């Protein structure tokens, strides 16, 4: 029986590591992602499994940052990489260097995932989109200055409406650095005074060529822009995320030019129509005024103006006569009323009573009538009024309530 060598754990794991890594320097695995976790370091740890087995895997930060789509449990993928044995734990894992989703391309999956995410946030809703200005004075174009798209934009705008300033913010429209340049251009355009609207886009191409306009940072830069934005990416069949979040989508750059400025011929036609309507309205008003003037001039008040004045004089005389009669009548009534009241007052006058032989005794100082024995005192002077005059007396004694006072 052959002798089995004695190995340390480190020796065994090292031999296993060398054997496996040399045996499987590159592998392509098909499986389903599970237990996917992104560490704070940026590395992604996950498992690849099928119906009967699973194996641990890791995607280092540099590789993970280049993935276009979001990793999630249940996603079927093909992972390309190499087998590695982590010697301190004696565990085996696959180092993934490329990941391709099954059933659709990487970019298509990334596009669908980002669409779903932004739609849930309401960034595609029409309610948040701003209207375009009808007559812009300054337009900013965020695109490649050498592309056919920008030439189409400039030509169509110049043909339709020349009363506008055009400002081109040059950016790369494809490549790894294109999204960053587009985002920076949107930040710059906010600081340029007088810009009324922004147009961004490029001509057609493959999904890879158009990918800069499908990135999340560009989509959020468009949403954050306070200026109305038109997105014109690719041809009619191409739909980008920039198209979906922009305030207006144009099927082509040429159509974007048609959206952003009016057609001078249409504006001229509208102005001509308004001018014709205005002239017709003014002529109509002048004709109605002429007819009204003729109607007024034919009225009697203008042909015989003194007739109206004489009528007013006659009515004034009638009012004057009626007023005089009314005043006399009211005076007679008032005089009669006063006479009746005078007779009544005269009948009630104390002087009438005095004429019948009565007198009135009053306090000589206050003039207050003496009605009770308590109103007099001995030694006080009182005045007695008769019908033909009065005289003063001095009270010498008071004999009681039922007896008369004596005067001297």
Q: Is the pLDDT of residue 3 over 90?
A: no
pLDDT computed for residue 401 by the predictor: 56
Q: Using the structure block, give the residue that is written with the tokens 């920076």.
A: 184
**Mean pLDDT in residue range 215-222:** 94
The model's confidence at residue 2, banded by pLDDT at 50, 70 and 90, is low
108 or 145: which leads in pLDDT:
145
| pLDDT category of residue 203 using cuts at 50, 70 and 90 | confident
What is the number of other CB atoms lying within 10 angstroms of the CB of residue 400?
8
How many beta carbons lie within 10 A of that of residue 100, not counting itself?
A: 15
- Size (the chain), residues: 408
Distance between start and end Cα atoms, the chain: 182
Look at 235 and 407; give whichever has higher pLDDT. Answer: 235
Radius of gyration from C-alpha coordinates of the chain: 57
Instruction: Work out the average pLDDT over 102-107.
Output: 73
Q: By mean pLDDT, which of 26-40, 137-151, 238-252, 342-356 is the weakest?
A: 342-356
Which residue, 225, 224, 227, 230, is CA-closest to 247? 230
CA-based nearest residue to 166, from 257, 62, 58: 257
pLDDT at 342: 76
pLDDT of residue 261: 92
- pLDDT at residue 103 above 80? no
Q: Tell me what percent of the residues of the chain surpass a pLDDT of 90.
A: 24
pLDDT of residue 177: 92
Structure tokens at 200: 């961004």
Tell me if 157 sits within 8 A of 139, measured CB to CB: yes
More reliable by pLDDT, 348 or 159: 159
pLDDT of 399 > 60? The answer is yes
For residues 161 and 188, the answer to whether their CB atoms sit within 8 Å is: no
211: tokens are 């990918």
By the 10 Å C-beta count (0-12 exposed, 13-18 middle, 19+ buried), 375 is classed as middle
Average pLDDT score over residue span 276-289 = 89
26 has pLDDT over 70:
yes
31-41 pLDDT, tens digit each: 888 888 888 88
What is the chain's mean pLDDT, rounded? 85
pLDDT the model gives residue 141: 94
Question: What per-residue confidence (pLDDT) applies to 308?
Answer: 72
Domains recognised in the chain with CATH numbers: 9-103 (2.40.50.140), 124-262 (3.40.50.261), 354-407 (no CATH)
pLDDT at 166 over 60: yes
- For 68, the token pair is 């276009």
How far is 315 from 40, CA to CA, in rounded Å? 105
pLDDT digits (tens, 9 = 90+) for 51-88: 888 888 899 888 888 888 888 887 888 888 888 888 88
pLDDT class for 352, splitting at 50, 70, 90?
low
pLDDT band of residue 348 (cuts 50, 70, 90) is: low
**Does the pLDDT of residue 289 top 70, yes or no?**
yes
Mean pLDDT calculated for residue range 284-289:
88
Mean pLDDT calculated for residue range 2-21: 82
């Amino acid at each position: 029986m052959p002798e089995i060598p004695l190995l340390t754990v480190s020796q065994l794991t090292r031999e296993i590591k060398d054997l496996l890594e040399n045996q499987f320097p590159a592998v392509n695995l098909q499986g389903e992602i599970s237990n996917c976790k992104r560490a704070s370091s940026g590395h992604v740890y996950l498992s690849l499994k099928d119906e009967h087995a699973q194996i641990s895997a890791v995607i280092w930060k540099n590789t993970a940052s280049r993935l276009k789509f979001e990793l999630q449990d249940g996603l079927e993928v093909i992972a390309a990489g190499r087998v590695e044995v982590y010697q301190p734990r004696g565990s085996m894992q696959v180092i993934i260097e490329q990941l391709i989703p099954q059933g659709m391309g990487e970019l298509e999956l990334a596009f669908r995932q980002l669409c779903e995410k932004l739609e849930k946030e309401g960034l595609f809703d029409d309610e948040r989109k701003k209207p375009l200005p009808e007559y812009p004075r300054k337009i900013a174009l965020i695109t490649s200055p050498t592309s056919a798209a920008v030439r189409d934009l400039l030509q169509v705008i110049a043909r339709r409406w020349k009363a506008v300033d055009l400002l081109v913010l040059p950016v790369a429209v494809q490549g790894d650095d294109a999204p960053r340049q587009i985002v920076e251009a949107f930040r710059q355009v906010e600081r340029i005074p007088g810009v009324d609207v922004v147009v961004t886009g490029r001509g057609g191409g493959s999904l890879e060529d158009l990918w800069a306009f499908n990135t999340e940072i560009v989509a959020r830069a468009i949403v954050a822009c306070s200026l109305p934005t038109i997105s014109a990416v690719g041809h009619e069949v191409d739909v980008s995320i920039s198209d979906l979040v922009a305030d207006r989508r144009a099927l082509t750059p040429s159509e974007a030019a048609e959206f952003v400025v009016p057609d001078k011929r249409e504006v001229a036609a509208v102005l001509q129509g308004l001018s014709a309507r205005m002239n017709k309205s003014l002529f109509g008003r002048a004709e109605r005024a002429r007819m009204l003037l003729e109607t007024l001039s034919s009225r009697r008040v203008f042909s015989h103006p003194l007739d109206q004045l004489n009528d007013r004089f006659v009515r004034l005389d009638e009012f004057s006569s009626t007023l005089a009669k009314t005043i006399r009548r009211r005076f007679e009534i008032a005089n009669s009323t006063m006479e009746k009241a005078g007779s009544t007052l005269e009948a009630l006058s104390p002087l009438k009573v005095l004429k019948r032989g009565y007198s009135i005794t009053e306090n000589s100082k206050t003039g207050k009538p003496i009605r009770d024995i308590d109103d007099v005192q001995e030694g006080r002077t009182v005045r007695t009024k008769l019908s033909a005059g009065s005289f003063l007396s001095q009270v010498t004694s008071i004999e009681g309530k039922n007896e008369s006072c004596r005067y001297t």
